[in-house]
Protein backbone atom coordinates (compact mmCIF):
# COMPACT_ATOMS: atom_id res chain seq x y z
CA UNK A 1 0.00 0.00 0.00
CA UNK A 2 1.53 3.29 -1.04
CA UNK A 3 1.89 5.82 1.67
CA UNK A 4 0.48 9.27 1.43
CA UNK A 5 2.26 12.02 -0.36
CA UNK A 6 0.87 15.16 1.32
CA UNK A 7 -0.28 16.66 -1.94
CA UNK A 8 -2.85 18.91 -0.40
CA UNK A 9 -0.63 21.03 1.75
CA UNK A 10 1.76 21.44 -1.16
CA UNK A 11 -0.87 22.60 -3.56
CA UNK A 12 -2.05 25.18 -1.09
CA UNK A 13 -5.63 24.00 -1.09
CA UNK A 14 -5.76 23.57 2.64
CA UNK A 15 -7.06 26.60 4.36
CA UNK A 16 -4.17 28.40 5.90
CA UNK A 17 -4.69 30.54 8.95
CA UNK A 18 -7.94 30.72 10.77
CA UNK A 19 -11.31 31.44 9.33
CA UNK A 20 -11.66 34.43 11.58
CA UNK A 21 -8.44 35.88 10.28
CA UNK A 22 -9.63 35.41 6.74
CA UNK A 23 -12.90 37.09 7.47
CA UNK A 24 -12.26 39.65 10.07
CA UNK A 25 -8.83 41.03 10.55
CA UNK A 26 -6.22 42.70 8.47
CA UNK A 27 -3.91 40.19 6.80
CA UNK A 28 -0.77 41.71 8.33
CA UNK A 29 -1.94 40.89 11.84
CA UNK A 30 -3.76 37.61 11.64
CA UNK A 31 -5.54 36.62 14.80
CA UNK A 32 -4.33 33.31 16.20
CA UNK A 33 -6.77 30.57 15.32
CA UNK A 34 -9.23 29.61 18.04
CA UNK A 35 -10.48 26.03 18.12
CA UNK A 36 -13.56 27.18 16.40
CA UNK A 37 -14.13 30.35 14.42
CA UNK A 38 -16.31 32.76 16.33
CA UNK A 39 -19.10 32.75 13.75
CA UNK A 40 -19.45 29.03 14.15
CA UNK A 41 -18.78 29.01 17.85
CA UNK A 42 -22.16 30.63 18.11
CA UNK A 43 -23.58 27.59 16.39
CA UNK A 44 -22.52 24.65 18.54
CA UNK A 45 -23.27 21.06 17.51
CA UNK A 46 -26.78 19.85 18.06
CA UNK A 47 -30.13 19.82 16.39
CA UNK A 48 -31.73 22.26 18.77
CA UNK A 49 -31.47 25.19 16.38
CA UNK A 50 -28.96 27.94 16.58
CA UNK A 51 -28.85 29.10 20.17
CA UNK A 52 -28.10 32.58 21.35
CA UNK A 53 -25.99 31.89 24.40
CA UNK A 54 -22.79 32.63 22.56
CA UNK A 55 -23.04 36.31 21.96
CA UNK A 56 -20.38 37.36 19.57
CA UNK A 57 -19.25 40.92 19.92
CA UNK A 58 -18.34 41.42 16.35
CA UNK A 59 -21.27 42.71 14.35
CA UNK A 60 -20.14 41.09 11.15
CA UNK A 61 -19.98 37.72 12.88
CA UNK A 62 -23.40 38.30 14.33
CA UNK A 63 -24.79 39.13 10.92
CA UNK A 64 -23.29 36.00 9.41
CA UNK A 65 -24.74 33.85 12.16
CA UNK A 66 -28.02 35.75 11.82
CA UNK A 67 -28.14 34.95 8.13
CA UNK A 68 -27.55 31.25 8.84
CA UNK A 69 -30.47 31.27 11.29
CA UNK A 70 -32.73 33.22 8.96
CA UNK A 71 -31.98 30.99 5.97
CA UNK A 72 -32.59 27.87 8.05
CA UNK A 73 -35.97 29.32 8.93
CA UNK A 74 -37.07 30.84 5.62
CA UNK A 75 -34.88 29.42 2.85
CA UNK A 76 -32.60 31.72 0.89
CA UNK A 77 -35.29 33.15 -1.37
CA UNK A 78 -37.64 33.85 1.54
CA UNK A 79 -34.99 35.51 3.69
CA UNK A 80 -35.09 39.27 3.95
CA UNK A 81 -32.58 41.66 5.42
CA UNK A 82 -35.08 42.30 8.20
CA UNK A 83 -34.95 38.59 9.11
CA UNK A 84 -31.17 38.71 9.23
CA UNK A 85 -30.96 41.84 11.36
CA UNK A 86 -33.61 40.52 13.73
CA UNK A 87 -31.70 37.27 14.29
CA UNK A 88 -28.45 39.19 14.60
CA UNK A 89 -30.04 41.79 16.88
CA UNK A 90 -28.44 44.66 15.01
CA UNK A 91 -29.94 47.55 13.11
CA UNK A 92 -30.59 47.67 9.40
CA UNK A 93 -28.05 50.45 9.18
CA UNK A 94 -25.41 48.21 10.77
CA UNK A 95 -26.17 45.57 8.17
CA UNK A 96 -25.43 48.01 5.38
CA UNK A 97 -22.22 49.10 7.05
CA UNK A 98 -20.95 45.55 6.51
CA UNK A 99 -22.73 44.23 3.45
CA UNK A 100 -24.31 45.86 0.44
CA UNK A 101 -26.87 43.09 -0.03
CA UNK A 102 -28.28 39.81 1.18
CA UNK A 103 -26.19 38.09 -1.49
CA UNK A 104 -22.98 39.55 -0.16
CA UNK A 105 -23.82 38.47 3.37
CA UNK A 106 -24.60 34.98 2.11
CA UNK A 107 -21.25 34.76 0.33
CA UNK A 108 -19.50 35.66 3.59
CA UNK A 109 -21.49 33.00 5.46
CA UNK A 110 -20.84 30.44 2.76
CA UNK A 111 -17.10 31.10 2.84
CA UNK A 112 -17.06 30.80 6.62
CA UNK A 113 -18.77 27.43 6.57
CA UNK A 114 -16.68 26.07 3.71
CA UNK A 115 -13.40 27.20 5.26
CA UNK A 116 -14.31 25.39 8.44
CA UNK A 117 -15.33 22.28 6.52
CA UNK A 118 -12.14 22.35 4.45
CA UNK A 119 -10.04 22.74 7.57
CA UNK A 120 -11.66 19.80 9.31
CA UNK A 121 -11.36 17.56 6.28
CA UNK A 122 -7.73 18.56 5.78
CA UNK A 123 -6.81 18.02 9.44
CA UNK A 124 -8.48 14.61 9.51
CA UNK A 125 -6.75 13.62 6.27
CA UNK A 126 -3.35 14.75 7.55
CA UNK A 127 -3.59 12.75 10.73
CA UNK A 128 -3.45 9.42 8.94
CA UNK A 129 -0.24 7.98 7.52
CA UNK A 130 -1.75 5.74 4.88
CA UNK A 131 -3.72 7.19 2.02
CA UNK A 132 -6.78 4.88 2.17
CA UNK A 133 -7.25 5.58 5.87
CA UNK A 134 -6.68 9.29 5.26
CA UNK A 135 -9.48 9.33 2.69
CA UNK A 136 -11.77 7.58 5.11
CA UNK A 137 -10.88 10.02 7.88
CA UNK A 138 -11.51 13.01 5.59
CA UNK A 139 -14.90 11.74 4.48
CA UNK A 140 -15.82 10.90 8.07
CA UNK A 141 -14.91 14.42 9.17
CA UNK A 142 -17.07 15.92 6.44
CA UNK A 143 -20.07 13.78 7.33
CA UNK A 144 -19.61 14.48 11.02
CA UNK A 145 -19.58 18.23 10.51
CA UNK A 146 -22.62 18.21 8.22
CA UNK A 147 -24.56 15.96 10.60
CA UNK A 148 -23.76 18.04 13.64
CA UNK A 149 -24.72 21.26 11.84
CA UNK A 150 -27.80 20.50 9.77
CA UNK A 151 -28.56 24.18 9.20
CA UNK A 152 -25.08 24.93 7.96
CA UNK A 153 -25.20 21.76 5.86
CA UNK A 154 -28.32 23.05 4.20
CA UNK A 155 -26.88 26.50 3.75
CA UNK A 156 -23.73 25.20 2.08
CA UNK A 157 -25.11 22.34 -0.02
CA UNK A 158 -28.69 23.32 -0.85
CA UNK A 159 -29.30 27.04 -0.38
CA UNK A 160 -25.95 27.80 -2.03
CA UNK A 161 -27.38 26.53 -5.29
CA UNK A 162 -30.14 29.12 -5.33
CA UNK A 163 -28.04 32.00 -4.05
CA UNK A 164 -26.84 33.25 -7.41
CA UNK A 165 -23.88 32.78 -9.75
CA UNK A 166 -21.22 34.08 -7.36
CA UNK A 167 -22.02 31.39 -4.83
CA UNK A 168 -22.42 28.67 -7.46
CA UNK A 169 -18.92 29.47 -8.68
CA UNK A 170 -17.63 29.06 -5.14
CA UNK A 171 -19.63 25.88 -4.70
CA UNK A 172 -18.09 24.40 -7.85
CA UNK A 173 -14.61 25.42 -6.73
CA UNK A 174 -15.16 23.92 -3.28
CA UNK A 175 -16.12 20.59 -4.80
CA UNK A 176 -13.22 20.63 -7.23
CA UNK A 177 -10.87 21.36 -4.32
CA UNK A 178 -11.50 17.81 -3.08
CA UNK A 179 -10.02 16.31 -6.26
CA UNK A 180 -6.35 16.36 -5.13
CA UNK A 181 -7.14 14.24 -2.06
CA UNK A 182 -8.13 11.45 -4.41
CA UNK A 183 -5.45 12.11 -7.01
CA UNK A 184 -2.95 11.36 -4.25
CA UNK A 185 -4.19 7.78 -4.44
CA UNK A 186 -2.46 7.34 -7.81
CA UNK A 187 0.91 7.54 -6.13
CA UNK A 188 2.88 4.32 -6.36
CA UNK A 189 0.05 2.30 -7.91
CA UNK A 190 0.97 -0.38 -10.42
CA UNK A 191 0.62 0.39 -14.11
CA UNK A 192 -2.43 -1.79 -14.59
CA UNK A 193 -4.29 0.23 -11.96
CA UNK A 194 -3.20 3.55 -13.45
CA UNK A 195 -4.29 2.38 -16.89
CA UNK A 196 -7.81 2.05 -15.50
CA UNK A 197 -7.95 5.68 -14.36
CA UNK A 198 -8.84 8.52 -16.67
CA UNK A 199 -8.30 12.25 -16.40
CA UNK A 200 -11.82 12.62 -15.02
CA UNK A 201 -11.84 9.72 -12.54
CA UNK A 202 -11.34 11.92 -9.50
CA UNK A 203 -13.90 14.48 -10.65
CA UNK A 204 -16.44 11.70 -11.05
CA UNK A 205 -15.65 10.25 -7.62
CA UNK A 206 -15.99 13.63 -5.95
CA UNK A 207 -19.17 14.44 -7.88
CA UNK A 208 -20.69 11.11 -6.94
CA UNK A 209 -19.82 11.57 -3.30
CA UNK A 210 -21.19 15.10 -3.13
CA UNK A 211 -24.39 14.21 -4.94
CA UNK A 212 -25.06 11.42 -2.45
CA UNK A 213 -24.53 13.81 0.42
CA UNK A 214 -26.49 16.73 -0.97
CA UNK A 215 -29.46 14.59 -1.91
CA UNK A 216 -29.81 13.54 1.77
CA UNK A 217 -29.54 17.13 2.92
CA UNK A 218 -32.03 18.30 0.31
CA UNK A 219 -34.55 15.73 1.54
CA UNK A 220 -34.02 16.81 5.16
CA UNK A 221 -32.46 13.46 5.95
CA UNK A 222 -29.24 14.86 7.36
CA UNK A 223 -29.29 12.27 10.14
CA UNK A 224 -28.60 9.56 7.55
CA UNK A 225 -25.33 11.11 6.43
CA UNK A 226 -22.97 9.30 8.79
CA UNK A 227 -24.33 5.92 7.77
CA UNK A 228 -23.12 6.67 4.21
CA UNK A 229 -19.48 6.44 5.32
CA UNK A 230 -18.74 2.80 4.37
CA UNK A 231 -20.41 3.14 0.97
CA UNK A 232 -18.59 6.38 0.18
CA UNK A 233 -15.25 4.95 1.24
CA UNK A 234 -15.70 1.82 -0.81
CA UNK A 235 -16.92 3.78 -3.84
CA UNK A 236 -14.01 6.21 -3.81
CA UNK A 237 -11.24 3.72 -3.04
CA UNK A 238 -12.28 0.98 -5.48
CA UNK A 239 -10.62 2.48 -8.58
CA UNK A 240 -7.28 2.56 -6.76
CA UNK A 241 -7.34 -0.51 -4.52
CA UNK A 242 -9.79 -2.83 -6.25
CA UNK A 243 -13.14 -3.65 -4.77
CA UNK A 244 -12.03 -6.29 -2.23
CA UNK A 245 -9.39 -4.10 -0.59
CA UNK A 246 -11.63 -1.01 -0.76
CA UNK A 247 -14.44 -2.92 0.96
CA UNK A 248 -12.03 -3.98 3.66
CA UNK A 249 -10.93 -0.41 4.41
CA UNK A 250 -14.55 0.71 4.30
CA UNK A 251 -15.49 -1.77 7.01
CA UNK A 252 -12.61 -0.99 9.36
CA UNK A 253 -13.81 1.07 12.25
CA UNK B 1 -45.36 36.15 -28.79
CA UNK B 2 -47.22 38.52 -26.56
CA UNK B 3 -47.05 38.76 -22.82
CA UNK B 4 -50.69 37.71 -22.77
CA UNK B 5 -49.92 34.50 -24.61
CA UNK B 6 -47.24 33.72 -22.04
CA UNK B 7 -49.68 34.07 -19.19
CA UNK B 8 -52.32 32.02 -21.01
CA UNK B 9 -49.86 29.13 -20.83
CA UNK B 10 -47.87 29.69 -17.65
CA UNK B 11 -48.47 31.42 -14.37
CA UNK B 12 -44.86 32.40 -13.87
CA UNK B 13 -41.32 32.25 -15.19
CA UNK B 14 -40.67 29.35 -12.79
CA UNK B 15 -43.58 27.37 -14.14
CA UNK B 16 -42.33 27.92 -17.69
CA UNK B 17 -38.83 26.85 -16.67
CA UNK B 18 -40.12 23.67 -15.07
CA UNK B 19 -42.14 22.79 -18.15
CA UNK B 20 -39.07 23.28 -20.36
CA UNK B 21 -36.92 21.20 -18.05
CA UNK B 22 -39.48 18.46 -17.80
CA UNK B 23 -39.96 18.30 -21.55
CA UNK B 24 -36.24 18.29 -22.31
CA UNK B 25 -35.27 15.73 -19.70
CA UNK B 26 -38.07 13.35 -20.58
CA UNK B 27 -37.18 13.59 -24.27
CA UNK B 28 -33.55 12.81 -23.51
CA UNK B 29 -34.43 9.93 -21.22
CA UNK B 30 -36.68 8.47 -23.92
CA UNK B 31 -33.72 8.49 -26.28
CA UNK B 32 -31.59 6.79 -23.66
CA UNK B 33 -34.15 4.06 -23.06
CA UNK B 34 -34.63 3.56 -26.79
CA UNK B 35 -30.90 3.22 -27.43
CA UNK B 36 -30.30 0.93 -24.47
CA UNK B 37 -33.38 -1.18 -24.98
CA UNK B 38 -32.41 -2.62 -28.34
CA UNK B 39 -29.39 -4.46 -26.97
CA UNK B 40 -29.17 -7.81 -25.25
CA UNK B 41 -26.13 -7.51 -23.05
CA UNK B 42 -26.12 -5.18 -20.09
CA UNK B 43 -22.68 -3.62 -20.62
CA UNK B 44 -23.61 -2.74 -24.20
CA UNK B 45 -26.88 -1.27 -23.02
CA UNK B 46 -25.05 0.95 -20.57
CA UNK B 47 -22.65 2.03 -23.29
CA UNK B 48 -25.43 2.72 -25.79
CA UNK B 49 -27.58 4.51 -23.21
CA UNK B 50 -24.71 6.75 -22.12
CA UNK B 51 -23.78 7.41 -25.76
CA UNK B 52 -27.34 8.53 -26.51
CA UNK B 53 -27.34 10.73 -23.43
CA UNK B 54 -24.04 12.44 -24.27
CA UNK B 55 -25.03 12.91 -27.92
CA UNK B 56 -28.33 14.51 -27.02
CA UNK B 57 -26.64 16.95 -24.63
CA UNK B 58 -24.11 17.90 -27.29
CA UNK B 59 -26.83 18.28 -29.91
CA UNK B 60 -28.75 20.82 -27.83
CA UNK B 61 -26.11 22.57 -25.74
CA UNK B 62 -28.29 25.53 -24.77
CA UNK B 63 -31.15 23.35 -23.64
CA UNK B 64 -28.74 21.01 -21.86
CA UNK B 65 -27.23 23.95 -20.05
CA UNK B 66 -30.65 25.16 -19.02
CA UNK B 67 -31.65 21.78 -17.65
CA UNK B 68 -28.43 20.77 -15.96
CA UNK B 69 -26.70 24.00 -14.97
CA UNK B 70 -29.31 26.75 -14.71
CA UNK B 71 -31.67 24.24 -13.10
CA UNK B 72 -29.53 24.26 -10.00
CA UNK B 73 -30.32 27.90 -9.40
CA UNK B 74 -33.90 27.84 -10.63
CA UNK B 75 -35.45 27.03 -7.29
CA UNK B 76 -36.16 23.92 -5.24
CA UNK B 77 -38.67 22.39 -7.65
CA UNK B 78 -36.20 22.49 -10.55
CA UNK B 79 -33.40 21.07 -8.40
CA UNK B 80 -35.69 18.32 -7.22
CA UNK B 81 -36.67 17.40 -10.75
CA UNK B 82 -33.02 17.40 -11.83
CA UNK B 83 -32.20 15.06 -8.95
CA UNK B 84 -35.12 12.79 -9.74
CA UNK B 85 -34.18 12.54 -13.39
CA UNK B 86 -30.82 11.13 -12.32
CA UNK B 87 -32.67 8.35 -10.60
CA UNK B 88 -33.95 7.12 -13.95
CA UNK B 89 -30.49 5.71 -14.54
CA UNK B 90 -30.46 3.80 -11.26
CA UNK B 91 -32.56 0.89 -12.50
CA UNK B 92 -30.52 0.57 -15.69
CA UNK B 93 -27.23 0.45 -13.79
CA UNK B 94 -28.55 -1.77 -11.03
CA UNK B 95 -29.00 -4.63 -13.49
CA UNK B 96 -25.21 -4.84 -13.49
CA UNK B 97 -25.30 -6.46 -10.07
CA UNK B 98 -26.59 -9.66 -11.66
CA UNK B 99 -23.47 -9.84 -13.80
CA UNK B 100 -21.08 -9.02 -11.01
CA UNK B 101 -19.35 -11.73 -9.02
CA UNK B 102 -19.55 -9.44 -6.00
CA UNK B 103 -23.10 -8.27 -6.78
CA UNK B 104 -24.70 -8.73 -3.38
CA UNK B 105 -21.75 -7.13 -1.56
CA UNK B 106 -21.66 -3.97 -3.66
CA UNK B 107 -22.44 -0.81 -1.69
CA UNK B 108 -26.14 -0.02 -1.53
CA UNK B 109 -25.61 3.53 -2.77
CA UNK B 110 -23.29 2.54 -5.63
CA UNK B 111 -25.63 3.41 -8.49
CA UNK B 112 -26.56 6.74 -6.97
CA UNK B 113 -22.87 7.57 -6.59
CA UNK B 114 -21.96 6.53 -10.14
CA UNK B 115 -24.76 8.59 -11.63
CA UNK B 116 -23.93 11.55 -9.42
CA UNK B 117 -20.35 11.33 -10.68
CA UNK B 118 -21.34 11.13 -14.34
CA UNK B 119 -23.75 14.06 -13.99
CA UNK B 120 -21.13 16.11 -12.20
CA UNK B 121 -18.62 15.62 -15.03
CA UNK B 122 -21.28 16.66 -17.56
CA UNK B 123 -22.36 19.59 -15.43
CA UNK B 124 -18.75 20.82 -15.36
CA UNK B 125 -18.45 20.71 -19.17
CA UNK B 126 -21.79 22.43 -19.70
CA UNK B 127 -21.00 25.07 -17.12
CA UNK B 128 -17.88 26.13 -19.03
CA UNK B 129 -19.71 25.87 -22.38
CA UNK B 130 -17.77 22.89 -23.68
CA UNK B 131 -20.74 20.82 -24.77
CA UNK B 132 -18.99 19.81 -27.98
CA UNK B 133 -16.39 17.93 -25.91
CA UNK B 134 -19.03 15.81 -24.21
CA UNK B 135 -19.41 12.88 -26.67
CA UNK B 136 -15.66 12.22 -26.47
CA UNK B 137 -16.07 11.50 -22.75
CA UNK B 138 -17.93 8.30 -23.57
CA UNK B 139 -15.08 5.79 -23.09
CA UNK B 140 -14.00 7.11 -19.70
CA UNK B 141 -17.57 7.43 -18.41
CA UNK B 142 -18.40 3.89 -19.57
CA UNK B 143 -15.29 2.61 -17.88
CA UNK B 144 -16.08 4.52 -14.70
CA UNK B 145 -19.60 3.12 -14.69
CA UNK B 146 -18.79 -0.50 -15.47
CA UNK B 147 -15.65 -0.98 -13.37
CA UNK B 148 -17.40 -1.56 -10.02
CA UNK B 149 -19.46 -4.35 -11.59
CA UNK B 150 -17.11 -6.01 -14.06
CA UNK B 151 -13.67 -5.09 -12.79
CA UNK B 152 -11.24 -2.72 -14.50
CA UNK B 153 -10.17 -4.99 -17.36
CA UNK B 154 -13.55 -6.03 -18.70
CA UNK B 155 -14.79 -2.45 -18.23
CA UNK B 156 -11.92 -1.04 -20.24
CA UNK B 157 -12.46 -3.50 -23.08
CA UNK B 158 -16.06 -2.42 -23.47
CA UNK B 159 -15.25 1.23 -22.99
CA UNK B 160 -12.57 1.30 -25.64
CA UNK B 161 -14.31 -0.96 -28.14
CA UNK B 162 -13.99 0.96 -31.41
CA UNK B 163 -16.87 3.22 -32.25
CA UNK B 164 -16.72 2.10 -35.87
CA UNK B 165 -17.98 -1.38 -35.16
CA UNK B 166 -17.27 -2.18 -31.54
CA UNK B 167 -20.10 -0.46 -29.78
CA UNK B 168 -22.79 -2.78 -30.94
CA UNK B 169 -21.01 -5.94 -31.99
CA UNK B 170 -18.37 -6.71 -29.38
CA UNK B 171 -19.42 -9.49 -27.08
CA UNK B 172 -19.98 -8.27 -23.54
CA UNK B 173 -17.53 -10.29 -21.46
Enter the ipTM: 0.80
Q: Give B-chain residues touching A77 at CB under 8 angstroms.
A: 75
> What is the least distance, in Å, from the CA of B132 to any CA of chain A?
16
| CB of A91 less than 8 A from some CB of B | no
The confidence score (pLDDT) of residue A26 equals 35
Residue to substitute from A207, A209, A232, A238, interface B, most B β-carbons within 10 A: A207
The confidence score (pLDDT) of residue B168 equals 43
> What global pTM score does this model have?
0.78
Question: Which is nearest to A204 in space by CA: A175, A227, A184, A233?
Answer: A175
User: Which domains does chain A possess?
Assistant: 101-251 (1.10.357)
Pairs of residues, one from chain A and one from chain B, whose beta carbons lie less than 8 Å apart? 122
| CB of B160 less than 8 A from some CB of A | no
- Please, which pLDDT band fits residue A1 given cuts at 50, 70 and 90? very low
Question: Which is nearest to B46 in space by CA: B165, B150, B153, B164?
Answer: B150
Tens of pLDDT, residue by residue over A40-86, are 555 444 443 444 444 445 888 889 989 999 998 898 889 999 999 99
> What is the least distance, in Å, from the CA of A233 to any CA of chain B?
10
Tens of pLDDT, residue by residue over A163-180, are 877 888 899 899 999 999
Domain boundary assignment for chain B:
3-160
More confident of the two residues B65 and A2: B65
Alpha helices in chain A, H assignment, sequence order? 7-11, 19-23, 38-41, 59-78, 81-88, 92-98, 102-126, 131-148, 150-157, 165-176, 179-183, 191-195, 201-218, 229-241, 243-251
**CATH fold for domain B3-160:** Tetracycline Repressor; domain 2 (1.10.357)
How far is B148 from A79, CA to CA, in rounded Å? Answer: 43
Most confident of A90-104, B69-83, B100-114: A90-104
| CB of A229 less than 8 A from some CB of B | no
Element holding B22 (H helix, E strand): helix B13-37
Q: Which residues pair with A3 in a beta bridge?
A: A130
Amino acid sequence: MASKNWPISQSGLRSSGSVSSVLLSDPLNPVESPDFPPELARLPPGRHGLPREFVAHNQRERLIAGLAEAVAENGYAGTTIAHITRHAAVSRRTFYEHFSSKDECFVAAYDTVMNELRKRVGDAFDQEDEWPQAVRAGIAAMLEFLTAEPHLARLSMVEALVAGPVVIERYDAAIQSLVPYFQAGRDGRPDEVLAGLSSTTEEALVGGMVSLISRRIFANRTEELESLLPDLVEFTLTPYLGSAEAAKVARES
Amino acid sequence: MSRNTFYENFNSKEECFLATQKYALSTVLEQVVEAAGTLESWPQRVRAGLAAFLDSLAAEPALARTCMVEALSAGPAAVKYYEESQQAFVSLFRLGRDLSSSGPELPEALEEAIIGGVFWILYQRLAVAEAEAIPALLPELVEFTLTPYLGPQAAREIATAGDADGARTTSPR
